[in-house]
Amino acid sequence: MKNMPAMLWILALGLVLLSIFLAGCDSTPLRPQENGSIRILSSPAGAEIYLDNEYRGTTPATVTGATAGSHTIEIRENGYTDWSAPVTVSPGSLLNVSAMLVAIPVTAMPVTFATAAIPAVQQVYPALHIDGYWTYPQGISGSTENPVPLLIHADGFNVGDADAREVTTSANLYYNGHQICWKTVYLGTLKAGGHVTTDTMVSCSLPSNLNSGDLTIRFENVVVNP
């Protein structure tokens, strides 16, 4: 050993150090990725994003570094009703979220009968009632395409004492209490004591294996052109 050339000593020492390094690498387990990302879209775009009440930019945007587990997303925009939904983030995943914001009416007329009395003068108002239902168009029920075209049937009644001009309403579709799509329905002019009927199509993304009874429609945000 004492007569071993210096070059062989250096080579032997290098092999020992390389073995120690490789053994250390093999014994270190890979850590799983703990965070995920959320891609958020809204209509209209440019709305503020809040993740668990923390501001995270404006739509469209991808929120990165979201910890795995349950969170709450809220979308806010001036002139629109706030939108919120619970989400669950999986490690290393990209979750897509789409929010359809509902505009707050600028001018809304009463939807129940109302009168106001002034001495010697009686004022009259329209009193509107909007009702209806949704259904699959002929030949669409059971289709696998998504979004699914739906037919919205609306009946408008004016039981008041004055005409209502250019009446519109928002037909909002709810699944298990959450709004999933909507459509503005134009009813035109409703004469005092009059009635109109209209059918409107809407394209709506529906959950798989939907039970029709779980999808309900509400006619909200009735607006009358003054």
pLDDT of residue 148: 85
Contact between 43 and 99 under an 8 Å Cβ cutoff? The reply is: yes
What pLDDT does residue 107 have? Answer: 59
**CATH number assigned to the domain covering 116-223:** 2.60.40.10
pLDDT digits (tens, 9 = 90+) for 81-105: 999 999 999 999 999 999 999 988 8
What lies within 8 Å, CB to CB, of 74 at 6+ separation is 49, 50, 53, 82, 83, 84
Specify the pLDDT at position 29: 47
pLDDT in tens, 8-56: 656 666 676 666 666 555 444 444 558 999 999 999 999 999 999 999 9
Give me the pLDDT at residue 112, please: 59
User: What pTM did the predictor assign?
Assistant: 0.45
pLDDT tens, position by position, 165-181: 889 999 999 988 888 89
b/e string for 58-97 if b means 16 or more Cβ within 10 A? bbebebeebebeebebbbbbeebeebeeebebeeeeebeb
Query: In degrees rounded to 5, what are phi and psi of residue 78?
Result: -60, 135
Q: Considering the domain 35-100, what is its CATH architecture?
A: Sandwich (2.60)
**What pLDDT score does 24 carry?**
55
In the chain, what are the domain boundaries? 35-100, 116-223
What's the confidence (pLDDT) of residue 27? 46
Dihedral of alpha carbons 14, 16, 18, 24, sign = negative
| pLDDT over 90 at 77, yes or no | yes
Q: Tell me, what's the pLDDT at 126?
A: 87
Q: Do domains 35-100 and 116-223 have the same CATH topology?
A: yes
Quick one: pLDDT at residue 12?
A: 67
> pLDDT at position 130, please?
92
- What are the DSSP calls for the chain, one per residue? -TTS-HHHHHHHHHHHHHHHHHHHHHTSPPPPP-EEEEEEEEESSS-EEEETTEEEEESSEEEEEEESEEEEEEEE-TTB--EEEEEEEPTT-EEEEEEEPPBPPSS---SS---EEETTEEE----EEEEEEEEPPTTTTT---SSEEEEEEEEEEE-SSS-EEEEEEEEEEEETTEEEEEEEEEEEEE-TT-EEEEEEEEEE---TT--GGGEEEEEEEEE---
Span 186-226, pLDDT tens digits: 999 989 889 999 999 998 888 877 777 788 999 998 888 76
